[in-house]
Structure 1
Amino acid sequence: MAPTAVVTGSGSGLGRHIASLLAGNGYRVVIADVDGRAAEACARAIGPAARAVAADVREPGDLDRIVTAACELGDPSVLVNNAGGWSPRRQYPEAPADEWTATLALNLTAPMRLGQLMLEPMRAAGGGAIVNIASSAGVGAEPYGSPEYGAAKAGLIRFTTSAAGLARSHGVRVMCVVPGWIGLDRAHAEQARMDPADRLPLIPPSEIAGVVLDLVRRGASGTVVEMLEP
């Protein structure tokens, strides 16, 4: 039986690249995304090995449905915590607390909660791997446009290293990828509006997906891979 991978935020963007690569390498994949239509479209593109779940990872009931879908597919062995982002409107301190705490929940609390829910199914399946997708926003000491997003991603990196002991206690390796600016459509569009001197190198999403696959296959618990340039 092929193992099952859960990829959050995989209806489009980087998550879709990761889910497609995992499916192409023998994994059944749960496509979890807050945009149910995007999740369904990604699952159709992958084929019978994929199952779509419309889910907001900040909602406990939706997390339960993701885990249930993984267990129904069988042998749940991989979790990629890719869903993330911040409010398109106000950021801390202009944003009220319910808005900036929602960013913390999406980028830090949700990966921790879903990882916790996946531990026992993974252990029962013989062990597995959790890969957290952080961001270069979580490293360094310079100001950042969304302080809550930077804080959450920094916390996700440290959570990864702090949880390295789960490899011993549960047979689950916990790892992290820290990409810089990802070469998705919105990044290319934003760069087109920038002065050429201010543009930063974009990392192809396929390259990040390849690193995730390599970590799933061979990575050691507590590993943090920084990808700041292509």
Structure 2
Amino acid sequence: MADTAIVTGAGDGLGREIALGLARAGYGVVVTDVDERAARTCADLIEGHGAPAHALRADVRQPQDLDRVVTLARELGGPHVLVNNAGGWTPQRQYPQAAADEWTATIHLNLIAPMRLSQLVLEPMRARGGGAVVNIASSGGIGFEAYGSPEYGAAKAGLIRFTATLAGLADTHGVRMMCVAPDWIGLSRAHAQWQRMSAGERAASRPLIPPAEVVAVVLDLVARGNGGTVVEMWGGGQRIVHGAG
């Protein structure tokens, strides 16, 4: 039986690319997404490559949905890998204009949910000899510049720090907690926005990061990364690795 990986927000975009990458690396994948149809489509793609996949509708902000995700992974003999990929923010209003329930929802999605799900997989992973958790953060959580969504930036900064503080889980649980913090990724929405930009705006922006490069970093961390490692990824191939040990 293949080892089992959980990927949240895997119905589309980077999550789907990571799920497919893990499948190609030999993992069975629990594909979770708030959009059940998208999760099923991703699972079908994985099965088309000859790997096992199980689609599950899950809102990672709901504790009962997280319980169902982990229960399914345990039934499949895992989990061995968790990729906390689900994230984002609503484009309408940001802090401080957004109401409290709006901006706290962004923090729950991008920070609280990964913390909860990581906690839920610790004991099952330890019981199976260890595992790997990769948190997908963002360049929005790095640095001191102004940012369009303060709550998103704060949550991603928290996710980076959360990862670094748990390097010791490798010793206590056999679980390597790691993080990737990419800049602007070349997914379809980013390419559409890139096309709308002026030549001057493009020249002032960093190049888009091909999704395959992010997937490659995730797979490398899963295979051989050290607990507490945080990898910054910037357009043009620049990478900064923190805490590699």
Residues paired across the two proteins, number: 230
**Percent identity at matched positions?**
69
Q: 1:144, CA displacement in angstroms? A: 0.2
Provide the C-alpha distance between the structure 2 equivalents of 1:228 and 1:206, rounded to a whole number of angstroms. Answer: 14
- Per-residue CA deviations over 1:77-108 (Å, capped at 9, x if unaligned) read 10000000011210000000000000000000
Provide the C-alpha distance between the structure 2 equivalents of 1:85 and 1:37, rounded to a whole number of angstroms. Answer: 19
Look up the match of 1:17.
17
Matched, 1:109 2:126: no
Unpaired segments of 5 or more residues in structure 2?
A: 238-245
Provide the C-alpha distance between the structure 1 equivalents of 2:172 and 2:39, rounded to a whole number of angstroms. Answer: 33
Provide the C-alpha distance between the structure 1 equivalents of 2:20 and 2:160, rounded to a whole number of angstroms. Answer: 25
Q: Give the 3-state SS of the residue equivalent to 1:26 in structure 2.
A: coil
The one-letter code of the counterpart of 2:214 is: I
Q: Pick the aligned partner of 2:163 from 157, 160, 163.
A: 160
| 4+ long deviations beyond 2 Å | none
Look up the match of 1:58.
61
Q: Give the 3-state SS of the residue equivalent to 2:167 in structure 1.
A: helix
Residues 4, 27 of structure 1: 8 Å contact kept: yes
Look up the match of 1:216.
222
The one-letter code of the counterpart of 1:6 is: I
Provide the C-alpha distance between the structure 2 equivalents of 1:3 and 1:116, rounded to a whole number of angstroms. Answer: 19
Q: 1:75, CA displacement in angstroms? A: 2.8
Cα RMSD (Å): 0.8
Look up the match of 1:29.
29
Q: 1:15, CA displacement in angstroms? A: 0.5
Normalised TM-score (structure 1): 0.98
Residues 5, 27 of structure 1: 8 Å contact kept: yes
Where relative contact order (Cα < 8 A, 6+ residues apart) is larger, the structure is 1
Q: 1:57, CA displacement in angstroms? A: 0.2
Look up the match of 1:89.
92
Provide the C-alpha distance between the structure 1 equivalents of 2:92 and 2:67, rounded to a whole number of angstroms. Answer: 29
Q: Give the 3-state SS of the residue equivalent to 2:163 in structure 1.
A: helix
Look up the match of 2:240.
none
Q: 1:21, CA displacement in angstroms? A: 0.7
Unpaired segments of 5 or more residues in structure 1?
A: none
